[in-house]
């Protein structure tokens, strides 16, 4: 795959990841949003893996 | 402080604002089904209904009802096996389940990936309201198969952040031992099976179920956990809080009992529209105090929608709001029966749940019983088969007299009571078939 395209995917994914973090912190006291964001972050981790990134566990237990 | 609500916005929303959302979602579902399902379109066109006709709440009842027979009819033809009911292409279907009916062809249920998320989301409301949290280790003693039962619960447990232990192919004794080994804190099952499990623990394994660290149990599949005497038996057996919920394959998990245990189930009105209809006249029942059958719509399930489905469940609105603070309305005593189970015997309406409530109130009797209704000549006869516990055998005569009296008071009917040896009546793994109306066979 073209490097340019990969870089664009990576940028979108990083934005998604940052937005997920912001969403989780704004949703304090709203379990339905917090826990669904946790699931979303598990999917984001799979995307990070797909791009060969070294991942760290960021899961938060409610 | 931690919120008691999975969704603190919807679950406490002002009822008028909630009704506004419900109407919009209802309109959306009718339009979706009309545009995408040839079967729904045909049914609606036959009734002269266009989606744009649904302008207000008064228009909701114009939408034709669905029932199991219609679902089966809609599944004839292509694409196999969901037929003309399907609203999305087959390649978007990721989950297959089917109804567990004992007669005839089952209804096949298609769910997309998003629908399946919706299923587990609806279960999250149940579990969070019953106190499940990330520290729980939850045992699910369910034979994971084509029936939906606890599949969605499994994924909801996971979404809550709890640890889920799938007790799939193990036999009952092995399940109890696994729960003991892993020190599981919560579990789920039908009331029948969980009573059976407690019996196996006590009598086959010599384990008092109360010594296991199970603190909460969620029941489904039978009305037992909303029948006070059965709930008490379960709570006494396991030393745990027992909660009810109601759901169905074609509908979803539409109601739940919260930790306040208010004598009823909350309808998840953010995800479902529940209407109650008079069984005889078809008139809408909007006030507490009168039972009727449930007509239900699932708002956010799209591949194979459920719109104004006649579930045959008998329910009634609870007169009081719940002290838990949810604005979602309660149905009193949970699902009180099914319109096709309530039958006339000797001219009196009889609900199998009423018999269960009486029998399970006698501590001298085992958990199992069986009722048969027969017609001999022009007379009808009800036989109740019970098992006495060994400690009660010396008082048999007195117990039987008390039981006959309690049954007469609660059901207005007389019974022939047969005492059977302990352990001889059938034991059930999932849903019990304790009520047998032989008049329909002879």
| B382-422 residue pLDDT tens | 999 999 999 999 999 999 999 999 999 989 899 999 999 99
Tell me the average pLDDT across B137-162. Answer: 95
Tell me the average pLDDT across B308-327. Answer: 96
Does B7 contact A at CB distance below 8 Å? yes
Percentage of residues in chain B with pLDDT exceeding 90? 84
Q: Do A31 and B121 touch (CB under 8 A)?
A: no
The confidence score (pLDDT) of residue B62 equals: 96
The confidence score (pLDDT) of residue A59 equals: 57
The confidence score (pLDDT) of residue B433 equals: 84
The confidence score (pLDDT) of residue B432 equals: 82
8 Å CB contact between B303 and B112: yes
Q: What pLDDT, in 10s, does the model give residues B67-114?
A: 999 999 999 999 999 999 999 999 999 999 999 765 578 999 999 999
* CB-nearest partner of B161 from A30, A32, A35: A35
What is the band of B308 on the pLDDT scale with cuts at 50, 70, 90? very high
Instruction: Name the nearest CA neighbour of B373 among B436, B295, B319, B304.
Output: B436
The confidence score (pLDDT) of residue A53 equals: 81
DSSP state letter for B230: H
Q: What is the mean pLDDT of chain B?
A: 94
Q: What pLDDT, in 10s, does the model give residues B46-69?
A: 999 999 999 999 999 999 999 999
The confidence score (pLDDT) of residue B153 equals: 97
A30 contact residues in B (CB cutoff 8 A): 3, 7-9
Q: Do A36 and B8 touch (CB under 8 A)?
A: no
Biggest distance spanned by C-alpha atoms of chain B:
70
Cβ under 8 Å to A: B residues 113-132:
121, 124, 128
Q: Do B6 and A31 touch (CB under 8 A)?
A: yes
Q: What is the least distance, in Å, from the CA of B134 to any CA of chain A?
A: 6
Whether pLDDT at A58 is above 60: no
Q: What pLDDT, in 10s, does the model give residues B179-208?
A: 999 999 999 999 989 999 999 999 999 999
B9 contact residues in A (CB cutoff 8 A): 30
Tokens representing B172 are 């009952």
Q: Do B5 and A31 touch (CB under 8 A)?
A: yes
The confidence score (pLDDT) of residue B241 equals: 98
Tell me the average pLDDT across B230-259. Answer: 96
Per the model's pLDDT, the better-predicted residue between B433 and B264 turns out to be B264
Q: Do B160 and A39 touch (CB under 8 A)?
A: no
The confidence score (pLDDT) of residue A60 equals: 54
Whether pLDDT at B341 is above 80: no
The C-alpha atoms of residue B172 and residue B367 are separated, in whole angstroms, by 16
The backbone torsions φ and ψ at residue B243, rounded to the nearest 5 degrees and listed phi first, read -120, 150
The confidence score (pLDDT) of residue B429 equals: 72
Does A14 contact B at CB distance below 8 Å? no
Q: Do A61 and B134 touch (CB under 8 A)?
A: yes
Q: Which residues are CB-contacts of B191 (< 8 A; sequence separation ≥ 6)?
A: B219, B221, B222, B224, B225, B230, B234
Alpha-helical (H) ranges within B160-291 are 172-182, 191-203, 228-238
* CB-nearest partner of A62 from B5, B7, B161: B161
The confidence score (pLDDT) of residue B427 equals: 85
Whether pLDDT at B252 is above 90: yes
Alpha-helical (H) ranges within chain A are 3-26, 31-50
Tell me the average pLDDT across B238-260. Answer: 97
* CB-nearest partner of B6 from A32, A38, A39: A32
Percentage of residues in chain B with pLDDT exceeding 70? 98
Whether pLDDT at B230 is above 90: yes
Instruction: Name the nearest CA neighbour of B295 among B107, B111, B50, B61.
Output: B61
Q: What pLDDT, in 10s, does the model give residues A2-45?
A: 999 999 999 999 999 999 999 999 999 999 999 999 999 999 99
B7 contact residues in A (CB cutoff 8 A): 30-32
The confidence score (pLDDT) of residue B169 equals: 87
Q: Which residues are CB-contacts of B72 (< 8 A; sequence separation ≥ 6)?
A: B104, B105, B107
Q: What is the least distance, in Å, from the CA of B2 to any CA of chain A?
A: 7
Q: Do A29 and B160 touch (CB under 8 A)?
A: no
Q: What is the least distance, in Å, from the CA of A57 to any CA of chain B?
A: 15
Whether pLDDT at B353 is above 90: no
The confidence score (pLDDT) of residue B160 equals: 97
Does A5 contact B at CB distance below 8 Å? no
CB contacts < 8 A, A to B, total: 34
8 Å CB contact between B368 and B422: no
Does A28 contact B at CB distance below 8 Å? no
């Amino acid at each position: 795959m073209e490097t340019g395209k990969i870089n664009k995917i990576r940028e979108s994914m990083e934005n998604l990841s940052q937005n997920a973090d912001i969403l989780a912190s704004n949703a304090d006291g709203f379990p339905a949003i917090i826990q669904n964001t946790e699931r979303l972050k598990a999917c984001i981790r799979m995307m990070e893996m797909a791009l060969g990134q070294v991942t760290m566990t960021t899961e938060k237990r409610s | 402080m931690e919120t008691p609500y999975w969704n603190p916005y919807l679950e406490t929303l002002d009822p008028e604002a909630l009704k506004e959302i419900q109407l919009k979602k209802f309109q959306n579902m009718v339009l979706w089904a009309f545009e995408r399902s040839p079967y729904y379109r045909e049914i609606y066109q036959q009734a002269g209904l266009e989606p744009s006709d649904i302008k207000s709440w008064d228009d909701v009842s114009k939408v034709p009802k669905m029932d199991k027979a219609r679902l089966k009819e809609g599944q004839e033809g292509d694409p196999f096996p969901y037929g003309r009911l399907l609203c999305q292409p087959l390649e978007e279907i990721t989950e297959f389940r089917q109804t567990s009916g004992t007669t005839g062809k089952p209804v096949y249920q298609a769910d997309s990936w998003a629908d399946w998320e919706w299923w587990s989301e609806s279960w999250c409301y149940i579990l969070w309201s019953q106190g499940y949290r990330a520290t729980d280790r939850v045992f699910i003693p369910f034979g994971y198969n084509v029936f939906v039962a606890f599949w969605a619960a499994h994924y909801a447990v996971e979404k809550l952040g709890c640890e889920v232990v799938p007790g799939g192919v193990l036999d009952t004794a092995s399940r109890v031992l696994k729960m003991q080994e892993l020190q599981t804190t919560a579990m789920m099952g039908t009331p029948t099976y969980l009573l059976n499990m407690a019996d196996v623990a006590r009598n086959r394994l010599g384990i008092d179920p109360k010594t296991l660290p199970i603190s909460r149990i969620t029941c489904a599949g039978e009305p037992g956990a909303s029948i006070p005497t059965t709930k008490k038996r379960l709570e006494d057996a396991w030393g745990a809080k027992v909660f009810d919920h109601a759901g169905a394959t074609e509908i979803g998990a539409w109601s739940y009992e919260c930790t306040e245990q208010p004598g009823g189930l909350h309808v998840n009105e953010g995800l479902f529209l529940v209407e109650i209809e008079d069984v005889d006249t078809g008139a809408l029942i909007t006030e507490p105090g009168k039972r009727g059958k449930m007509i239900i719509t699932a708002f956010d399930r799209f591949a194979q929608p459920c719109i104004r489905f006649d579930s045959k469940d008998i329910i009634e609105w609870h007169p009081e709001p719940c002290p838990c603070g949810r604005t979602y309305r309660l149905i009193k005593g949970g699902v009180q029966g099914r319109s096709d189970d309530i039958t006339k015997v000797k001219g009196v309406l009889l609900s199998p749940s009423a018999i269960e409530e009486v029998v399970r109130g006698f501590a001298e009797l085992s958990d199992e019983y069986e009722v048969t209704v027969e017609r001999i000549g022009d007379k009808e006869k009800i036989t109740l088969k019970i098992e006495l516990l060994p400690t009660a055998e010396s008082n048999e005569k007195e117990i039987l007299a008390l039981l006959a009296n309690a049954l007469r008071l609660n059901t207005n009917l007389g019974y022939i009571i047969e005492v059977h040896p302990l352990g001889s009546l059938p034991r059930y793994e999932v849903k019990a078939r304790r009520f047998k109306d032989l008049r329909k066979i002879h």
